[in-house]
Amino acid sequence: MKNVAIIGATGFGGLGLIEILLRHPGFTIRQLVARKDTGKKISDVFPHLRGFCDMMVQDGAEIDYDGIDLAFFSTPDRAGMTLIDDFRKRNIPVIDFSGDFRFHSQEDYGVYARNKGMEDVHLAPDSIGEAVYGLPELNAEKIKKARIVGNPGCFAINMILALLPAAAAGIIESQTIICDGKTGVSGAGKNPGEANFYPQRHENMNTYREGRHQHLVEVENIVNGACGGGKKILFIPQIVPINRGILMTSYMQIASGHTTASLIDLYRNYYRGKPFVMVTETSPHSADVRGSNFCKIRPFIDPRTGMMAVISVIDNLLKGQSGNAVQNANLMCGYEETAGLMQPPFYP
């Protein structure tokens, strides 16, 4: 049994971790740390946790490094980079939810940061090289040995899983891959404001950060790494009035000779042994994965145009965030990759 601390416990990322770890056979939550709501019970912040987790939320100054074997930083951008040294010097492995440890160069981090409108100088540059990009379907072996894991962005996870088999097979011919992404409102975190004001979101949908969403950099890095380079992605994110879920439709030209059946084979072979990716022959609904750590993917050829399209869905808070993080933690700790994560989706 490993003891963990959750830094950033009062957001949706922290909440997701708590819910998973409560039923996890190998992790015990020892500390909940946050900036807001310190001194309250976590079940006063999230009343549905009453009776399941009534721990106090502590201030960052009170972290008891001796009592923990692993830490989750479910913190906003630029928090992890100020915290990392205290964990590194004690050799406590860390999984960070922000963009702080997803990149291997200051340049890439800079593009990411500027897309989000943030300060673009990384504050812990020496830790960058050590960090592993935390997508278990791609980097399982590296993650097993990692001390710093950068948990990917929710949209990024969906896009990468949708594109990776085709990229790795070298069949993508388009220079520009189109990814049209639809997300529920929880994707923006637990930060009430105009963008997630109920009367503004209900019965509404819209695009935003068209072509310049911050998750683009990491997706292009991975896709180009898999296919040998030269691809760009045009990604238009959209918000739709649901709480949870991402539905991605991706479009690309591919080498001739492929059929829907051969693509399904290709994808199934690629994801063989990956417990959370299901390649389907019918179109997945976002509700088919809500509340679970699964990604469902349907690749096909449009017979009229010959283009390849991929439909893929995840729950942005689970496979897109805390579920994927626990999957990383399982690998890092030598547990079964699926430990604590085999919940069926929640429907209706």
154 among known catalytic residues: yes
Between 224 and 300, CB nearer to its own copies: 300
With tokens 């529920």, the residue in question is 184
Question: What's the Rg (C-alpha) of the chain?
Answer: 20
Name the catalytic one among 53, 154, 227, 295. Answer: 154
* Binding residues with its own copies: total (CB under 8 A): 80
Which residues, other chains included, contact 37 with Cβ-Cβ below 8 Å and sequence gap of 6+?
10, 44, 45, 57
22's enclosing H/E stretch is helix 12-22
Identity of the residue, 65 or 208, whose beta carbon is nearer to its own copies in the bound complex: 208
Q: How far is the CB of 146 from its own copies (least distance, A)?
A: 28
H/E element, 226: helix 216-227
- Maximal CA-CA distance, the chain: 62
Q: Please list every residue from 44 through 73 that binds its own copies, using CB under 8 A.
A: 46-53
Which residues within the stretch 68-97 sit at the binding site for its own copies (CB under 8 A)? Answer: none
Touching its own copies, residues 174-213 (CB under 8 A): 175-176, 178, 180, 182, 185-186, 190, 192-194, 196-208, 210-212
| Interacting positions 296-315 with its own copies (CB under 8 A) | 300, 302-307, 309, 311
Q: What is the token pair recorded at 242?
A: 């649901």
1-30 binders of its own copies (CB under 8 A): 12, 15, 19, 22
Phi first, then psi, for residue 4 (nearest 5°) are -125, 155
Question: Ramachandran region of residue 96, left (φ > 0), alpha (ψ -120 to 50) or beta?
Answer: beta
Subset of 209-238 contacting its own copies (CB under 8 A): 210-212, 232-234, 236, 238
Give the footprint of its own copies on residues 156-175 (CB under 8 A).
175
Cβ-based nearer residue to its own copies, 139 or 196: 196
In the region spanning residues 309 to 348, those forming contacts with its own copies, defined by CB under 8 A, are: 309, 311, 344-348
Of the two residues 33 and 217, which places its CB atom closer to its own copies in the complex? Answer: 217
Pairing of strands 132-133, 70-73: unpaired
- Angle in degrees, CA 278, 244, 285, rounded to 5: 40
Question: Among residue numbers 247 through 306, which ones bind its own copies (CB under 8 A)?
Answer: 247, 249, 251, 278, 280, 282-292, 300, 302-306
Measured between alpha carbons, how far is 120 from 106 in angstroms, rounded to an integer? 9
In the complex, minimum distance from the CB of residue 216 to its own copies, in angstroms, rounded to a whole number:
8
Establish whether the linkage from the previous residue to 47 is cis, with ω within 30° of 0.
Answer: no
**Shortest distance, CB of residue 105 to its own copies, whole angstroms?**
18
**Shorter beta-carbon distance to its own copies: residue 207 or 262:** 207
Residue 33, amino acid: V
Residues 6+ apart with CB under 8 A from 105: 128
Please say which residue, 48 or 89, places its beta carbon nearer to its own copies.
48
> Considering the complex, what minimum distance in angstroms separates the CB of residue 151 from its own copies?
20
Sign of CA dihedral 153, 155, 159, 162: positive
Q: Which of 240, 264, 265, 274 binds its own copies (CB under 8 A)?
A: 240
Taking Cα atoms as reference points, which of 93, 89, 124, 90 lies closest to residue 5?
Answer: 93
Question: Whole-number minimum distance, CB 12 to its own copies, in Å?
Answer: 7
Q: Which residue, 81 or 157, has its beta carbon nearer to its own copies?
A: 157
Q: Give me the 93-132 binding string for its own copies, x by CB under 8 A, dash otherwise.
A: ----------------------------------------
Catalytic positions = 154
